[in-house]
Structure 1
Amino acid sequence: MLRSLHIRDFVIVEQTELHFDAGFSVFTGETGAGKSILIDALALTLGARGDSGAIREGADKADISAIFDVPDSLRTLLAEQELEPEDDQLVLRRVIDRAGKSRAFINGVPGTLAQLKTVGSYLLDIHGQHAHQKLLQRNEQRILLDAHGQHETLAAQVRSHWTAWQQAQQKLERARSSQRDAEAERERLEWQLNEISQINPGKDEWATVNADYNRLANASALLEGAAGALNLLDGEQTSALEILNAALHRIEPLLRNDEHLKGVYDAIESARIATTEAASDLASYLDKAELDPERLAETETRMSAMFATARKFRLEPEMLYDRLQELTQALEALNNESDLAGLEQQVTRHEAAYRDTAEKLTRARQATASTLSKEVSKALQTLAMKGSTFEITIQPAEPGASGMDNVQFNVAAHTGSEPRPLAKVASGGELARISLALSVMANRAHQVPTLIYDEVDTGIGGAVAEVVGKLLRDLGRHHQVLCVTHLPQVAACAHHHFEVQKKQGKKETVSRIELLDEQARIEEVARMLGGVKITQTTRQHAREMLTHSD
């Protein structure tokens, strides 16, 4: 659950640090005091969009931190992202500067807004003051039903199969419409591939052919030069080896008288060994080398063929092999795309997978719709809508990314009347109550620790307000519930009561938030009941309301 919230320089809040307990907590105050600022600040720590307009006048940046207990459901995710808390508490922080730049931190580690949103989805759920307006939108009705039934994974699979099906269908349509162009392109690729395949160039073959040609074309000069070099190194007449051996014989006896000549001796010996090896290599080269006019003619023919083919396609000869691979791959890809039978099979396969998954989602939605309709209808009886019936209908629809269903929320305002779409029969107050009932039912089923209600009691009052307060108090037995309210009946049902006050200074307006003790709470509920002038009668009424709520 949410343990504390620290706000600095946000809108009209200079600095405040709030600590929260389990149960049902309310925030009250005069209109414009900044009650909803708390919700906005908390939303920023959970990845909501923010800009420099949220920074308090005169400050450089807004800095908001929220500390939560770590629910078991979140531990695996934190471990996977190496964000495990050291003291079993999770700290989310958001900083926004005047340039509009935003920084996010999770347990002191820089993070992204996407990470904050993901983590936040395990921590709390915010039910905004205009949430009931979304109930009029068919798309939102479907999303709410799926969330309540925990169909998100199945719905994601439906979207994935739908995308695959549509992409396969588009690929098939492109293949059909461009079949004529594809045939011309295929002929062009096949002709080029056939021309180059006739000489079948190998990888790096041009470099090898060039080297062979240079060697064969200059064979006479190579043989003559090698033989001459061998004669100089180790010939019958005076040779390099003979001279080096003579030098060694001259130096060797001198070593007994002057060891400084040892380096000279070793250098000559190294030269003799190197010369011997070079002479041996030249002899081996001459044994293997020979004039080969036939091989030279073959090499010239191969070079001419490769050069002619390369010139035909305006390529360098060394590029022929790569071009052959490109043509082979391009033709293969074209044949695959033009394989209408194969593409049609893909479409059929993806469509079947989509319809199978979509039908499973339909059955899941129908089961959830039946249960949720009964639960909400029962809740409405306590919210001044006796005799009303809430009904969720699932009608077949054209296949789409969200499935094959039209989800519609209907309500019958009176006993015996036919349920009709919300937009046609529900007033603003009724919508608010239906929205609240849906939220409470959904949150009872889910395990999000903290629930926030921002003026969801708009449009109700009197006895209904008291029922709403008790409903939220009962919800607080299983969840931490925070609620911004303007109704004394709701405020009186809370376990904890915070007052938000707006203070007008000489240069600025600031908002302050305080946890009320018993006496201060009586005064605040009395203010909510009686307005500007608070009488003893009003205070007594407030005291009775608070006593009765316990």
Structure 2
Amino acid sequence: MLQNLNIIDLAIVESLDLNLEKGLSVLTGETGAGKSILLTALGLALGDRADASYVRPDCKRAEINLSFDLSDAPAAQAWLEEHELDMDEQCLVRRTIRPDGKSKAYINGRPTTLQLLKQLSSQLVEIHGQHAHLTLLESEEQSGFLDNFAQNTDLIVKTNQAYAQWRNNFHELKTLIQASTDQSNQQDLFSYQLNELQQLDLSNYDYPALSAEHTKLANLEQILSTGQTQLDALAENEQQSANQIINQSISALSELSNLTKELEEPTQLLVEAQIQIQEASHQLRHFLEAQEIDPQGLLELDKQISIIQNLSRKHQVDPEELPEIAQNLATQLDNLNHSSERIEELNLLVEQNQKDYFALAKTLSDKRIQAAIKLSDLISDMIQELGMPQGEFSIAVSPLELDQPKMNGTDKIEFLVSANKGLPLRPLAKVASGGELSRISLAIQVTTSHDKDAPTMIFDEVDSGIGGGIAEIVGQKLRALGNNAQVLCVTHLPQVASQAHQHLFVFKTNDTEMTTSQVRTLSTEQRIEETARMLGGVNITDSTLAHAKEMLLSGMAGS
């Protein structure tokens, strides 16, 4: 359950530290007092999208911290252990938002992504917003309520895995069948292109080396001429070669070294230089003697380079990539040659995939039908208690006759309702008025909340559109729900507020230049005053206070 909510510099909240208890906690206050910002803070901490407008003016950042006790959240504890983020039976969630709109999220002090934060959040808190009754009209939302009630999660996962296997094999089969229609033309083309590339002796193909050899042969005359000139200059000209000049210097300096020791080192350096020149001359001479002008060899290389460049342009790749192109062609040709075998194999796989899928889908349909009967009765009873005495609710599960699998099974699921006796059941969107829809939504949420993993449930003004005795029943239902889970409810109804285990009052202060929203936990006397305000508005009379006290004592005496 959620133990503590801490907010710093978020919108109109400068600083707030709120301890929460088990059971039903209500948030009340004047319109605009800041009740919504508390739910906004919870949403942001649990992974909602953030922007710069949330940061209080002239502040470095906004910060929200949540502290959870996981003793009643085994699914969240398991998730944290799986992701190596666990910390005993406690979970700390932190979200910061900067003035530039960028944000950071942390789980138990370690940075995390919003995607992971949202995964964890779904195990901890479930939020029913003001417009939950509108999303209830969507087919996907209706299916979700029924499947949660029927505990179909694992079965849906298996069904969708079977669907994915069928889809992958079916798409491959379609591709191969389509390709086989012009298989002959493709085989001829791939074979021709592969034969072209195999001219290049691909097992020994080395384009950089081939290109270098071609460059050398094309410029061999210049290489030989320049090389011989430099060989003469280095060693073979007895009068003016570098070797001869250095030799003379060594001889002269050697005699002088006997007169001064300082000339020994430069003399030694010249000796080393002479050795280097002699070695370079030897290698150059060996290279020149080994070269032979080969016009025919150059023509062959010209021909090879030309073929390679043409093939490179044809396949739109660099010359070095031609062996890879050849390998790809060989693979595609092999696939085409064996496609008939693969088509036969895939036909069997697709047939088996369909059998597996439809068997799972049938099991899913049966579970949905059984759960729909039970849930329909429970919701019918609930809406009758909530001021629709002749109301009837039904969940229609219609298995569709499909040729091919689809996601989430083969059923069409539709919520039907009859608001008055004698009228036929019709789709929810076509029958219920705004007030009726709100009550039906609340009935569904309260009825199915027992089947949720999240230990904390938040209801944001889902009691709008009702009042009087019905509002009192709603309060009783929420209090009963709070006996087994932590329930936080934003409400304007005194009948609901009087049923709470904990009453939180949201108010604004103007002590500084900037308005600030604050929250305090009300004592019994303060609860009577707040309930009276909700009953009577501005002018609170003794009779209003007496009525408020009676409501509160009656609510506190409830289950």
For residues 63 and 337 of structure 1, what CA distance do their matches in structure 2 show? 60
User: Residue 540 of structure 1 aligns with which residue?
Assistant: 546
For residues 121 and 141 of structure 1, what CA distance do their matches in structure 2 show? 18
User: Residue 9 of structure 1 aligns with which residue?
Assistant: 9
Give the secondary structure class of the aligned counterpart of 1:32. Answer: coil
For residues 510 and 207 of structure 2, what CA distance do their matches in structure 1 show? 87
Q: Kindly indicate whether the alpha-carbon contact (under 8 Å) linking 1:195 and 1:309 is maintained by their aligned counterparts in 2.
A: no
Question: Gapped runs of 5+ residues in structure 2?
Answer: 211-296, 313-317
**Structure 1 residues 336, 390: CA separation in 2 closer, same or farther (over 3 Å shift)?**
farther
For residues 39-438 of structure 1, the aligned pairs below 5 Å read: 39-70=39-70, 71-86=73-88, 88-193=89-194, 202=203, 314=311, 324-335=326-337, 340-397=343-400, 398=402, 399-438=405-444
Higher deviation after alignment, 185-194 or 108-117:
185-194
Q: Kindly indicate whether the alpha-carbon contact (under 8 Å) linking 1:453 and 1:483 is maintained by their aligned counterparts in 2.
A: yes
Query: 1:364-413 CA deviation, whole Å, 9 max, x = no partner?
Result: 21122112111111222221122321100011335532321110001122
**Structure 1 residues 322, 485: CA separation in 2 closer, same or farther (over 3 Å shift)?**
closer
The Cα shift of 1:48 comes to 1.4
TM-score in terms of structure 1 length: 0.76
Q: Kindly indicate whether the alpha-carbon contact (under 8 Å) linking 2:148 and 2:451 is maintained by their aligned counterparts in 1.
A: no
Q: Kindly indicate whether the alpha-carbon contact (under 8 Å) linking 2:125 and 2:457 is maintained by their aligned counterparts in 1.
A: yes
1:60 alignment partner AA? K
For residues 321 and 115 of structure 1, what CA distance do their matches in structure 2 show? 44
For residues 534 and 505 of structure 2, what CA distance do their matches in structure 1 show? 11
Question: Gapped runs of 5+ residues in structure 1?
Answer: 210-299
The Cα shift of 1:417 comes to 3.0
* Match of residue 458, structure 2, among 452, 458, 461: 452
User: Residue 37 of structure 2 aligns with which residue?
Assistant: 37
**Structure 1 residues 525, 337: CA separation in 2 closer, same or farther (over 3 Å shift)?**
farther
CA RMSD of aligned residues (A): 3.1
Query: 1:269-327 CA deviation, whole Å, 9 max, x = no partner?
Result: xxxxxxxxxxxxxxxxxxxxxxxxxxxxxxx9xx99x9699759847999886565333
TM-score in terms of structure 2 length: 0.75
The Cα shift of 1:205 comes to 9.9
For residues 372 and 521 of structure 2, what CA distance do their matches in structure 1 show? 41
For residues 360 and 546 of structure 1, what CA distance do their matches in structure 2 show? 49
2:41 alignment partner AA? A
2:8 alignment partner AA? R
**Structure 1 residues 155, 337: CA separation in 2 closer, same or farther (over 3 Å shift)?**
farther
Give the secondary structure class of the aligned counterpart of 2:466. Answer: coil
2:42 alignment partner AA? L
For residues 11 and 312 of structure 1, what CA distance do their matches in structure 2 show? 67
For residues 495-534 of structure 1, the aligned pairs below 5 Å read: 495-504=501-510, 507-534=513-540
Query: 1:160-192 CA deviation, whole Å, 9 max, x = no partner?
Result: 433443444444444444445543222122234
2:10 alignment partner AA? F
1:17 alignment partner AA? D
**Structure 1 residues 546, 175: CA separation in 2 closer, same or farther (over 3 Å shift)?**
same
User: Residue 21 of structure 1 aligns with which residue?
Assistant: 21
For residues 319 and 508 of structure 1, what CA distance do their matches in structure 2 show? 68
For residues 309 and 9 of structure 2, what CA distance do their matches in structure 1 show? 74
User: Residue 477 of structure 1 aligns with which residue?
Assistant: 483
**Structure 1 residues 473, 207: CA separation in 2 closer, same or farther (over 3 Å shift)?**
closer
User: Residue 255 of structure 1 aligns with which residue?
Assistant: none
Higher deviation after alignment, 314-323 or 340-349:
314-323
Query: 1:68-90 CA deviation, whole Å, 9 max, x = no partner?
Result: 0012332222122221215x321
Q: Kindly indicate whether the alpha-carbon contact (under 8 Å) linking 2:128 and 2:459 is maintained by their aligned counterparts in 1.
A: yes
User: Residue 257 of structure 2 aligns with which residue?
Assistant: none
Q: Kindly indicate whether the alpha-carbon contact (under 8 Å) linking 1:190 and 1:331 is maintained by their aligned counterparts in 2.
A: yes
